[in-house]
Amino acid sequence: MPDATVIVVARDRWTATPTRVRRLIDTTGTRPVVVVAAGARPSVVRELAQSIGDDAGDRVEIVANDAFLPGNEARNIGAARATGEWLAFVENDVVMSDGWLDALLERGVATGADVVFPAFLVPGADGPVVHGLGCEIEVDGPPGVQRLRETQHHIGRRWDDVEAEVGETERVQSEPHCFVMRRSLYDDLGGLDPGLLGWFDHTDLALHLRARGTRGLLVPQATCLYDPPPLALNDMPTFAKRWGAPWFEASLRHLCSTWGLDPLDDGWRGHASYRAAIRRSVPTPWPRLNGLLARVSAPLESAARR
């Protein structure tokens, strides 16, 4: 099995990260792990170090940073400390299936794929449901006003109902929650684009694969359960920044400028609606507080614009 480094970055919060990272470490064999703890509170960093323990401490590096960072910027920091032929990027609020990394690496090597990724699930009332199984993308129109369209598969269906019919499949676009890529591709790209502030990072990578004619591969034998814990009050600043309009709008402009896409295309409305839905949901441990958080986050978002 080839060498790989696991790089853990934050999506929007640090609650429950020590527990999630400990489980992640237990699923990665003896491979090195880099945790980019950007914006994590000192108490979280201490708890994280304690949860890792002496048994895994020699292969886990915690990179602390006072500022909360966009996903790609944090991934690049982790990659600078990585070794091996493959980079396994994982967000800190997911639960990976046992043996996930071995499964992805084995199929990546066997097929020659440049990016491999698992089936992405979310909790449902009757068991996990499909959050994403990779997608195809199509781009048409003249440069500068091109339209991008994504074709998804089985979204919202119970995993137990569709697992048997989902096979290993070439699909160019992963989800950002977890993807494994060849170090050689990462180096050829000059790293992941830091101009994408937590939005459209997976779209940008897919467009690079499409432009190069290289392969992305869904490996459904591995799964990634996206299950963010309730939002703690002291995670509100990072949550507001990650899901705020400034990062979304700047990322969309950057993606469109890079690839000649039309920023006014109606196709982006789905992404904007998803952002708004996440902002409205804001799960917390305090039900009576949920209705107030939209008003609390508004000034934080305004501050993030400055």
pLDDT by residue (tens digit) across 113-123? 999 999 999 99
pLDDT digits (tens, 9 = 90+) for 22-49: 999 999 988 999 999 999 999 999 999 9
Quote the domain boundaries for residue 263.
233-305
Model pLDDT, residue 280: 82
In a shared domain, residues 189 and 265? no
Instruction: Decide: 245 and 260 in contact? Cβ < 8 Å.
Output: no
In a shared domain, residues 208 and 283? no
pLDDT digits (tens, 9 = 90+) for 43-60: 999 999 998 887 777 899
- Taking the C-alpha atoms of residue 8 and residue 23, their distance in angstroms, rounded to an integer, is 12
In a shared domain, residues 253 and 218? no
Model pLDDT, residue 217: 98
In a shared domain, residues 182 and 257? no
pLDDT band at 305 (very low <50, low <70, confident <90, very high): very low
In a shared domain, residues 96 and 169? yes
Q: Where are the alpha helices (DSSP H) in the chain?
A: 17-26, 42-57, 71-79, 100-111, 159-162, 183-189, 201-212, 236-243, 245-259, 269-281, 287-290, 293-305
Return the CATH number at 218.
3.90.550.10
In a shared domain, residues 165 and 278? no
Average pLDDT of the chain to the nearest whole number:
91
In a shared domain, residues 152 and 262? no
Number of domains in the chain: 2
In a shared domain, residues 271 and 172? no
pLDDT digits (tens, 9 = 90+) for 98-137: 999 999 999 999 999 999 999 999 999 999 999 999 999 9
Task: Tell me which of 226, 259, 278 is where a domain ends.
Answer: 226
In a shared domain, residues 20 and 40? yes
In a shared domain, residues 216 and 237? no
Model pLDDT, residue 230: 86
Task: Tell me which of 206, 226, 246 is where a domain ends.
Answer: 226
In a shared domain, residues 135 and 284? no
Task: Tell me which of 226, 250, 268 is where a domain ends.
Answer: 226
The CA angle 196-276-19, to the nearest 5 degrees, is 70
Residues 6 or more apart whose Cβ sits within 8 Å of residue 92: 8, 9, 10, 11, 14, 17, 20, 21, 35
Model pLDDT, residue 112: 97
In a shared domain, residues 123 and 17? yes
- Written as six digits, the tokens of 237 are 């600043």
Tell me the whole-structure pTM to 2 decimals: 0.92
